[in-house]
Amino acid sequence: MKALVLASCLVIGGAGVAWAQTPAGSPPIGHGPPNSIAAPAMSLKDLKPQPAEALGLVPKLTLSDSSGHAIHIMPTPAVAAQRAKYGLGVPPAPGGGSPTAGALIYHTGGSVMPYQLVYLIFWAPAHLQNGGATGFSPLYGTINYLHPAWIPSNSLLNIATQYYQTIGGVTSYVINTGYLAGVYVDQGALPASGCTDTQTPGNCITDAQIQTEVAHAMAVNGWTGGMNKIFILFTSSGEGSCFDSGSSSCAYTQYCAYHGNFSSGGSTVIYANEPYASAVGCLAGGQTSPNGDVGDYVTTSTSHEMLESATDPLLNAWFDSSGNEIGDLCNFNFGANSWTNPANSIHASQFNNGWYWEDQMEYSNHTASCVPSGP
């Protein structure tokens, strides 16, 4: 009689780890108690842990290509919820009290941004690759001009001041200062579609094409890179993006934005990709539009990427054991929404200089929680 193979799979959600084992050699039916199959003796040490990401159960947040270039994505609400099922986006129990008491871990030798000078690039071509119409909503440019300019020297970026770098024996912290250093509107044509974003068929640019556009904007304006500068690219309606030509990770299905870095002219260029605000895939339950314009929906991803770039610009500094950065642990968590725009009675999470913003909270190691300001 053929021996049976006993297979089992135990998924431990809190640890974000899947355990799998397939012991062979079970005795034939008829040996052991009635209606049972005896398995060989085993202990927990025989089980081999496999990260849920490695098993393909959840998408990774940090992606890299064959050349070693990497980006870190802001997951869509659906992907964030999927990761949370395996405990990959859930902070540990509160500890608090110091920059190292919470979930985020400093990885020795990693770099932070000393402060942030902000450069904005709005790509506004006449039409999409497939000839379709494209553009920005009426207040999109205004909202996303004022909002990134507001974050440096304000309470949200102040959360990052508890995080530091230690390089060459010298420890230095993120400083909450900076300003809007440049704005460029590129009306040039989009390159040929280099990928397939299922939400924007026929209209998709890869990360390599995004890097090329950022470098182009820098050259046209005489901008230079550096560890204190961030270049944020906003693409127009109907245009999607994917990390690579194989469309392994794309806007609206895996991510709502991402940040990374590349080298240009001998300096480091820190950049962020901000796909056009979309209610399909990148709008969370309860998220508001305090200024009554679709441009409101992208401010939370911009603040997310600016804070993550401040604390982990080269993807080697501050992140937890599951790869979450300062924004990921509070993804689309807007808190109390205690502000109200009197013009339309719509609630918001932040207020500054007469404008209302719907920005997610960020993770504080000091309190071991998501906070709207810090430290």
Element at 18 (helix H, strand E): strand 17-21
Distance, C-alpha 168 to centroid of its chain: 29
Residue 186 confidence class, pLDDT cut points 50, 70, 90: very high
pTM: 0.85
303, with CB counted inside 10 A (0-12, 13-18, 19+), is: buried
pLDDT, residue 9, reads 37
190 contact partners, CB below 8 Å, separation of at least 6:
123, 125, 128, 129, 203, 205, 239
Q: Cβ(144)–Cβ(138) under 8 Å?
A: no
pLDDT, residue 374, reads 86
pLDDT, residue 59, reads 82
3-state secondary structure 252-296: CCCEEEEEEEEEECCEEEEEEEECCCCCCCCCCCCCCCCCCCHHH
pLDDT, residue 102, reads 79
Distance, C-alpha 44 to centroid of its chain: 35
* More confident site: 235 or 17: 235
pLDDT, residue 21, reads 44
Burial 255-276 (b: 16+ CB within 10 A, else e): bbbbbbbbebeeeebbbbbbbb
Residue whose entry in the numeric block shows the structure tokens 């064959």? 66
Kindly report the average pLDDT of the chain as a whole number.
Answer: 86
pLDDT, residue 55, reads 52
The answer on pLDDT for 341 being more than 50 is: yes
Mind listing the pLDDT tens digit for each residue in 297-311? 999 999 999 999 999
Residue 265 confidence class, pLDDT cut points 50, 70, 90: confident
Residue 26 confidence class, pLDDT cut points 50, 70, 90: very low
The answer on pLDDT for 94 being more than 80 is: no
Q: Cβ(275)–Cβ(206) under 8 Å?
A: no
Residue 279 confidence class, pLDDT cut points 50, 70, 90: confident
pLDDT, residue 96, reads 54
- Residue boundaries of the structural domains of the chain: 8-51, 62-371
The answer on pLDDT for 97 being more than 80 is: no
Distance CA 58, CA 254 (A): 10
Residue 3 confidence class, pLDDT cut points 50, 70, 90: very low
The answer on pLDDT for 98 being more than 70 is: no
Q: Cβ(273)–Cβ(230) under 8 Å?
A: no
Cβ neighbours around 306 below 10 Å, total: 26
Residue 123 confidence class, pLDDT cut points 50, 70, 90: very high
Element at 81 (helix H, strand E): helix 77-85
Task: Give bridge partners of residue 259 from the DSSP assignment.
Answer: 72, 272
Measure the CA angle with vertex 301, ends 17 and 108; round to 5°: 55
% pLDDT > 70, the chain: 81
* Two structure tokens written together for 168: 């060459």
Average pLDDT on 104-125 reads 97
Mind listing the pLDDT tens digit for each residue in 29-78? 344 444 444 445 545 444 444 556 655 667 899 999 989 999 999 999 99
Distance CA 87, CA 251 (A): 23
% pLDDT > 90, the chain: 74
Distance, C-alpha 13 to centroid of its chain: 21
Measure the CA angle with vertex 317, ends 315 and 319; round to 5°: 80
